[in-house]
Amino acid sequence: GAGVSQSPSNKVTEKGKDVELRCDPISGHTALYWYRQSLGQGLEFLIYFQGNSAPDKSGLPSDRFSAERTGGSVSTLTIQRTQQEDSAVYLCASSLVVGGGYEQYFGPGTRLTVT
């Protein structure tokens, strides 16, 4: 079947604007993860979902970041009042279940540039 898809592929926004990044996981995968990849910080875990629930939000960098998942499927990562330091590639991954060493399948990411 189809892999993890993310949209948009690239997003350029002005500082202070809000952005929404979308992730479509592999069908049937109950776990969904968001990571951020930046030059300075490398790959960082942001948040994960088990179904529609996000048990651990501690990886979110600030309260400007939020995420939701609906219907156990699509997830949206929202960044409010974007700052230049938010510029990064945002990667989404999904796995059959949480943990257990199950493979996390990654999407191609959204490259966010804040000008």
Supply the DSSP string of 23-54, one letter for each residue: EE--TT--EEEEEEEETTTEEEEEEEEETTEE
**C-beta closer to another protein: residue 16 or 51:** 51
Residue 75, Cβ density class (10 Å: 0-12 exposed, 13-18 middle, ≥19 buried): buried
Can you tell me which of 11, 30, 52, 89 binds another protein, judged by CB under 8 A? 89
65 near another protein, judged by CB under 8 A: no
Which C-beta is closer to another protein: that of 13 or that of 45?
45
Cβ–Cβ contacts within 10 Å for residue 44, how many?
Answer: 14
State which of positions 24-43 bind another protein (CB under 8 A).
31, 33, 35, 42-43
Identify which of residues 73 and 104 has a Cβ nearer to another protein in the complex: 104
**How distant, in Å, are the alpha carbons of 17, 41, 59, 60, 101 from that of 45?**
23, 11, 6, 8, 16
Q: Which residues bind another protein (CB under 8 A)?
A: 3, 31, 33, 35, 42-43, 45, 48, 56, 59, 89, 91, 93, 98-101, 103-109, 111
